[in-house]
A and B are shown apart, each in its own frame.
Chain A
């Protein structure tokens, strides 16, 4: 019978059926970070359990790491306590830790791919909802809670129910100035923030075939913003090319066997999907959010929706959103004053994002009214960027160049909005308070749009500013 990648990976990792009817699923790769793991190790100790397969868990530190303070102890004693707890836990249990001193630390969803740990046909879990990022390689990857982190540590398995699979096809060529970020914001806008509940999203079509792995990661990353716990792209030659030669990639004779195996996991051409959606790449324009959920998005040249045009269910959230954002229905978002520009995060903090922006940034200056920061998602990205001289381009334009971490994507480190500042952000969540100020406002967009906003001090159309 023809099967989807999801079904094949699920079957290959099924340990047994549990009495409650769920599947005991083997988690081949477990990623941990400092925020959601300490309590799990605590539970493990309380129960007197060991880590079953220490070599299948990998750790890094990202959320609490200050990006402008490299020396320890950090000025936030709690951050210091958290990084030390992770050091102790990984040491006690023999887990590989990509610590800040290794030159390989970074946002957990960047470290896995960079190290070649993220591979097709595998199951990956992490106590972090953006774990679907790894689905870009044809893995079934999803976020879990802390009790489940304990379950994986102790048994390398989870109790789960299978998901349905929705194929989301995007075909054709994106217009200039339109990016992977716009594609996923467009999909979420269309299918809604809870449209994906119960589904894994399989992204496909010629647009995805042409995407680099980094672009695929940007899309898979935000699956959870559409309610889908897991999203993936079928593995292809580009996938194998990306993995080849990385530290944890299969070597020598194992490589060929691995590629054969990886290919076999791709969805069969005639498999059945629970749902199919199809989009045309050329219909997508640069997209920005105007509200407090990632689904509240419009094309940059559209007006924000009139309340009376929204269905009753969406209206209350929209009213709340307009109030919080201090924006008005039926007006353009373009021209809205911006105070902060944040370029980074596991959605858009990769080398290709930095390269693309740097390409256009030369000769431009950040508006004096804007605080602009660029935060490479990982130390390897930062090193590569410096090698290419990208840091200079950003610094010359007036951006602050920072160390690797989650930074202003969420408020667990010193990078935060103040008061009701409005941030043009390449991250993934525009929830109230997400960027550290209760009244702070977030407008999500692609990296190039962030750069345009930084330069003009307003939400702008990057295609006009940079003559894309």
Chain B
């Protein structure tokens, strides 16, 4: 299986501010009533975007820039801290990715969300608190401008500014070597897997 090597993502940025944004907010549970991930994109942040009266609410995903991102399937979401906490539903990163987001920049990410995103080839990089605030300010002042995430140099840049970014080494390696879907590597370990299985009394029947 050959996957694209993801070394750089350059795309228009959209800020979705707030800390502790959980996956129930990213994709409400009723949209998990499905047997495929198709169609989840349009429901990203549904209950934040649409009021109980069915009317649109002011939300970054309802903006013109978001519409452009959805059209081009190319966008960077700028988020806060502990983004993607709560439920392990892969439907959450799936919905953002299907909406059009190809990378995220934030203060920190919940682990399961981070792993799910990486396995989709969606890098989630973090900036320091101050740098993130600066990026946020920049994005809000210059809606729709491009932000570049460079996984080789490990930085994020926008306008004439560049900030130092972080991502766990293993995720970075997987993305830049085009092995972010781990299945090929895992399958290769077949004989070692069987050896481990044999060594575990509760597994070896």
Binding site for B on A (CB under 8 A): 12-16, 18-22, 24, 26, 28-29, 35-36, 38-39, 42, 47, 49, 52-53, 55-56, 63-64, 76, 78-79, 81-82, 85, 119, 122, 127-129, 143-148, 150-151, 154-159, 161, 193-194, 197-198, 224, 227, 229, 250, 254, 257-258, 261, 293, 313, 316-317, 320, 410-412, 419, 429, 431-434, 436-439
Please state if A146 and B90 are interface contacts (CB–CB under 8 Å).
yes
Residues of A within 8 A of B181 (CB): 147
**CA A224 – CA B22 in complex, angstroms?**
12
Nearest CB on B from A435, distance (A): 9
Residues of A within 8 A of B87 (CB): 128-129, 410, 429
Q: Would A24 and B90 be within 8 Å (CB), given that A320-B18, A433-B28 are in contact?
A: no
Residues of A within 8 A of B119 (CB): 145, 147-148
Please state if B108 and A143 are interface contacts (CB–CB under 8 Å).
no
Please state if A24 and B189 are interface contacts (CB–CB under 8 Å).
yes
Please state if A412 and B33 are interface contacts (CB–CB under 8 Å).
yes
Beta-carbon nearest neighbor of A55 in chain B: B205
Task: Check B19 for interface membership: any CB of A closer than 8 A.
Answer: yes
Partner of B30, one of A148, A161, A412: A412
Nearest CB on A from B146, distance (A): 27
Q: Would A56 and B33 be within 8 Å (CB), given that A143-B88, A313-B81 are in contact?
A: no
Q: Would A432 and B25 be within 8 Å (CB), given that A143-B112, A157-B193 are in contact?
A: yes
Give the number of residue pairs across the A-B interface with Cβ within 8 Å.
213
Beta-carbon nearest neighbor of A143 in chain B: B88
Identify 14 residue pairs between A and B in the complex whose beta-carbon atoms are under 8 Å apart, listed by A's number: A15-B193, A16-B192, A20-B173, A24-B189, A24-B192, A24-B193, A26-B193, A42-B36, A63-B32, A155-B186, A194-B110, A197-B82, A429-B24, A431-B24
Please state if B32 and A35 are interface contacts (CB–CB under 8 Å).
yes
Binding site for A on B (CB under 8 A): 18-20, 22, 24-25, 28-30, 32-37, 47, 51-52, 81-82, 85-91, 93, 108, 110-112, 115-116, 119-120, 168-171, 173-174, 177, 179, 181-183, 185-187, 189-190, 192-193, 195-197, 199-203, 205
Q: Would A317 and B20 be within 8 Å (CB), given that A157-B193, A194-B110, A438-B47 are in contact?
A: yes
Residues of A within 8 A of B81 (CB): 194, 313
Residues of B within 8 A of A258 (CB): 201-202
Beta-carbon nearest neighbor of B179 in chain A: A20
Please state if B30 and A159 are interface contacts (CB–CB under 8 Å).
no
Residues of A within 8 A of B205 (CB): 55
Nearest CB on B from A97, distance (A): 16
Residues of B within 8 A of A18 (CB): 182, 185-186, 189
Please state if B202 and A24 are interface contacts (CB–CB under 8 Å).
no
**CA A379 – CA B181 in complex, angstroms?**
38
Residues of B within 8 A of A129 (CB): 86-88, 112
Residues of B within 8 A of A21 (CB): 169-170, 173
Residues of B within 8 A of A411 (CB): 28-30
Please state if B20 and A193 are interface contacts (CB–CB under 8 Å).
yes
Please state if B19 and A82 are interface contacts (CB–CB under 8 Å).
no
**CA A198 – CA B182 in complex, angstroms?**
20
